[in-house]
Amino acid sequence: MSSERLIREIFQRNGFSLSEEQIKSFDIYLKELKRWNKVHNLTAIEEDEEIVIRHFLDSVSVSLCLEEKGVKVDGLSLCDVGSGAGFPGVPLKIYYKDRIELTLIESVAKKCAFLEYIKVKLGLSYRVICKEAQKVDEKFDLVVCRALGKLKDILPILDRLSKKYILIMKGATVPEGYDYCKIDLPDIKDYILFLAKTR
C-alpha cells in the first residue's frame, strides 16, 4: 500500500476527512521524517503506520478536544512547547492551515533545523523559537505540549506562556481542577488531554 493511501485510510477510519493537499503534505512529512531520522534520531517510532497513528493522528486529535470545549480556532495563536520533530504543532498546521498562527518552541538545534526545513518543504508558515521554553518571553492564546516531563514541573512554564488555554497531551489520570477530553478513536483508545484555562 502506498503511504498516501495509508494516511488517507487511517485518518478516514478515525473520522477525519483530509483533502488531497493535506494527504500529500503528511506524505512528504512522513518521508522526510524517516530520512532525517536515519542521521538525527528525531523519533523512536520508525514504521509508517505507527508514525501516522502515533504522531500525525495523535496530534490532529487535539482538534476534537478544542471542538468539544468550544475553543474558537480561527485566528488562534497556538504555541507547541518542546515540539521535537513537530508534534503536535505541524500536523495541526497542516490540518487547520491558515486558521491558526503557529509557533514551535524547541531547544535542540538539530530538531530546530528539521522544523525549519519541513516548513519550507511543505510551504507552511510558522515560527520556530530555538531555545528553552523558560527563556521565551511571549504569550499565546493556546499552549500545547506533549510529553515534556512531570506535570508539576511543566505547568508553571506553560502557565507563563499562555493567555487563555493550556492543553497537555498525556496520561490516564486527571489532576484536580482540570477540565479534560477523552479521545476514543479506533486507533487511539482512552487517551486523555487536559485542558486548563489560564488563571
Reference 37, options 3, 85, 89; nearest CA is: 85
Residue 172's pLDDT is what?
62
The pLDDT value given to residue 192: 85
Closest CA to 118 of 108, 128, 109: 128
Handedness of CA 147, 149, 152, 155 (dihedral sign): negative
Mean pLDDT of the chain: 93
Q: Is the pLDDT of residue 199 over 60?
A: no
Averaged over 112-137, what is the pLDDT?
Answer: 97
Q: Give the percent of the chain with pLDDT over 70.
A: 95
Average pLDDT of span 86-104 = 98
Give the pLDDT score at 1: 87
The mean per-residue pLDDT over the stretch 131-136 comes to 96
Once rounded to an integer, what is the mean pLDDT over residues 133-153? 89
Instruction: Convert the pLDDT of each residue in 11-31 to its tens digit.
Output: 999 999 999 999 999 999 999
Q: Is the pLDDT of residue 165 over 90?
A: yes
181: its cell numbers = 477530553
Average confidence (pLDDT) over 66-72: 94
Q: Which residues pair with 159 in a beta bridge?
A: none
* Model pLDDT, residue 86: 97
* pLDDT greater than 70 at residue 148: no
pTM of structure:
0.95
3 state DSSP class of 19: coil
Whole-angstrom distance, CA of residue 177 vs CA of residue 91 = 29
pLDDT tens-digit readout, 47-63? 999 999 999 999 999 99
pLDDT reading at 175 higher than 80: no
pLDDT at 150: 78
